[in-house]
Structure formats: C-alpha cells, structure tokens
Copies of this chain bind each other. A is one copy, B any other.
Amino acid sequence: MTARTVKVIQAILANNDRAAEENRKAFEANGVLAINVIASPGAGKTSLIVRTLRALADKARVGVIEGDVAGQIDTEKVLQCGAHDAVQINTGGNCHLEAGMVRQALSRLALEQLDLVFIENVGNLICPTHWALGEHLTICVASAAEGHDKPVKYPEIFAKSDAVVLNKIDLIELVDFDRAFFQASLRALNPKAPLFELSCRTGQGVQAWVDWLQAQRLQG
C-alpha cells in the first residue's frame, strides 16, 4: 500500500472511533449494555440472540441491531421472538458494520426502554474485528460444524473476544471436531475469556451463557 492509502485508511478508522465513542456514551446514558456479536456466516449469531431473548423474556428488555449485506430475515425473526425493538442495517456490499451505521440505527431505537442491545455484525470472521461500534462486549460465535481450526486461521477475533461461544455442539460427534485442539489454540490466543459450549438448536448449555451475560449488565 502507498503512504497515501495508509493515511486515508487511518483517517477512516479515526472517524469510526469517534462515532463509536458517541455510541458508547448513548448506550451508557441509558444504562444499556451493548454487545457486538461476530461470527462466520451461519455460525448461529441470530440463533444465539433468539435463545437469549427467550431466556431473558421477563428479566431484561433487549434491542437488536441487525447487520447484513442484504435482506431483513433476521430482524423479522428477532421481533417475532421477543426483541423489544430491532433495526435492520443493510450494508449494501460492505463486509462489516461501522460505528456511523450503528449511530444511524440508534436514532431509530428506543434506548431508554432497553437494558441490552445486541449488535449482530455482518457474517465475517475477519473484517468486523477492526471496527469499534461503541460496544461494551465483543462476542465471537464459532460453530462445531466449521471445524476445530478456526482460532488458528482467524486469530484476531478469538484473541480480542470477551467471551467465545462454540455453537452446534449437538453436531460435534458428526463432524470430526477435535475439542482439545480448539480449546488449546483458543487459550494460546486468549487465556481468560469464558468459553460457552452450547447448542442453540437443543438449548443445551444456553443457561450458563445467559447467566454470564446477565452478570455483565450495567448498573443503574
């Protein structure tokens, strides 16, 4: 890359960080915990949000910002499943959400009526890692069906996540998944983040994730 390209990219990221800071202040002014959910396409981001919505039905008011290249399937789904409010962002080809997109979504979300907001990023294990959105927590969702080598191949997101969810463990015996390899390579990158092995399909393991999430909520 030329020096000019690098400068332009740095300016874009600096603008993004400023917008992310504004978003974070808006969340905190309303006592809302914001969670950036990052995963490959089809790892189960929406399914995890739906399971969490159900588990928190009478315990927390949850909003969802849905990021997709195209379509609004997920927004319809989370509204049907108990989200108090939801906004779709279509990036129109962009491979990640940016803070400015989230800021626009926030203008359509009743933050003062919410306790938690999930920001479901575009399905992509790489690019979303570099763009702060104003979140308090970054959660990486991996799927057992994707194989055990994901931390080795996509180290950045596993290194920076505040918690890692390994979804679809109901399939684990059917897909030659080496659990020890996955855990060891995750721990080499990120010694501390809790790992939740669960199945959004069967519900197995979901409660431990929900309990942990509840404990992260902002006070006041």
Say what secondary structure dominates the interface of chain A: loop
Q: Which of B127, B146, B156, B176 contacts A41 (CB 8 A)?
A: B146
A155 within 8 A of B: yes
Give the distance in Å from the alpha carbon of A123 to the alpha carbon of B163 in the complex: 22
Contacts of A171 in B (CB 8 A): 145, 171, 174-175
Among A19-27, A67-75, A102-110, A207-215, which stretch is in contact with chain B?
A: A67-75
Report whether B125 and A123 are in contact in the complex, using a CB–CB cutoff of 8 Å.
yes
A59 at the binding interface (Cβ < 8 Å): no
Chain B residues with CB under 8 A of A219: none
A42-B147, A122-B126, A146-B41 known; A153+B8 contact, CB < 8 A: no
Decide if A112 is an interface residue (CB 8 Å cutoff).
Answer: no
Q: How far is the CA of A41 from the CA of B145 in the complex (A)?
A: 10
Name A residues whose Cβ lies closer than 8 Å to a Cβ of B. 1, 4-5, 8, 12, 40-43, 68-71, 73, 93, 95, 122-127, 143, 145-147, 149-150, 152-156, 168, 170-171, 174-176, 201
